[in-house]
Structure 1
Amino acid sequence: MITCQQTKTISEHRVINGDLNEHETFYGGRLLAILDGVASIPATKLARCQVVTASVDRVNFLQPFALNDALKIECYVSGVGNRSIEVFAKVIGEHLLTGQRFLGATAFLTFVVLDHERILPAVTPQTAEEKAVCQGFAQRRLQNKQKLELQKELLTQLDI
């Protein structure tokens, strides 16, 4: 058994001109790319083998990041299936000149273990936040399976 804290990864970035979109805020696509890379670390820490991103299940952009803000991404494993690993990410902003902090985004990502023989350990939440996040894993997993079935049905109807 492994704790959420043992999988936790923290990454910090400063928002610079090259990160901005036409609204002068941090480009959402750039944040998604960074999230994917950072969130893969807790999944790999748990699995100790190669994982691939299966889906970005939910991203909530809550507040924008501006030039010279800092953003801190905290990720940890929030649920484990047979071959899948769910990672929760929260993105905390800080206005560097004032020190004011804010919650800028949250996300859930799912990674899949490439080694079909790998047996994944369970993850144990310890803090109040981890317990609240992990508590919803079974329901999120069921919803994701339902969405996957709907998508499979839709894919049969798409022209290529």
Structure 2
Amino acid sequence: MDAIKCNDTLAISIHRVRNSDLNEHGTVYGGRTLDLIDGQASVAAMRVARTTVATASMDHIQFLRPFDLQDSMCMEAYVTGFGKRSIEVFTKVIGEHLMTGERFLGFTSFMTFVILEPEKQVNFTRVIPENAEQQALVAAYPQRLADRRIQRQAQQDFLQNISLNKPWLK
């Protein structure tokens, strides 16, 4: 197979905000949002991989507007780029105030998934965007990939300075 369309990877779901999703401020707890989008984005990634994938990173995370009790969260995730064993997925969460019908962009992020099985890899050579949003995100994938490589090296340098000792046990 040569190419796959962004819309062929599109995963959409709607979540009604419930009391159990809320933090002490009365808005959706950030960790709950991350949990929901991780599951959503993995569906899009697996539509490319067709094998088991694992979340490798989340970046460009933007909590733009809070979600309240009378809101719904419409999550849309689709693939914006991939390598041989890694797959980038863009996710956005559109809120809707259910009492008024007002819609708003509440959250965006990129996630990278990796194929777990060593003998498997992505069987496509490119992803085809189908609208202006997808065109912009797919076109910027090479720059995000380069930025991630730089960040990964900086992270390795940083981690060399992190101690695993237990200073409280002397």
**1:32-71 → structure 2 map (5 Å cutoff):** 32-71=34-73
d(CA) in 2 for partners of 1:20 and 1:78?
A: 31
Query: How far off its partner does 1:83 sit?
Result: 1.1
1:106 alignment counterpart:
108
Query: Is the counterpart of residue 156 in structure 1 residue 165 in structure 2?
Result: no
d(CA) in 1 for partners of 2:64 and 2:121?
A: 36
Query: Is the counterpart of residue 147 in structure 1 residue 151 in structure 2?
Result: yes
Which letter maps to 1:12? Answer: I
RMSD over equivalenced CA pairs, Å: 0.9
**1:1-150 → structure 2 map (5 Å cutoff):** 1-120=3-122, 121=124, 122-150=126-154
Query: How far off its partner does 1:119 sit?
Result: 3.5
Percent identity between the aligned chains? 49
Q: Paired residues, what number? A: 160
Query: How far off its partner does 1:159 sit?
Result: 0.7
After superposition, what is the alpha-carbon deviation per residue over 1:114-158, rounded to whole angstroms, capped at 9, x for unaligned? 123333112111111110111110000111111101111111121
**After TM superposition, where is structure 1 displaced by more than 3 Å over at least 4 residues in a row?**
none
Question: Structure 2, unaligned stretches of length 5 or more?
Answer: 165-170
Secondary structure of residue in 1 paired with 2:121: coil
Question: TM-score normalised to the size of structure 2?
Answer: 0.91
Which letter maps to 2:12? Answer: I
Report if the CA contact (8 A) 2:91-2:108 is conserved: yes
Secondary structure of residue in 2 paired with 1:115: coil
Report if the CA contact (8 A) 2:115-2:121 is conserved: no
Report if the CA contact (8 A) 2:6-2:128 is conserved: yes
After superposition, what is the alpha-carbon deviation per residue over 1:84-137, rounded to whole angstroms, capped at 9, x for unaligned? 100000100000011110000111000001123333112111111110111110
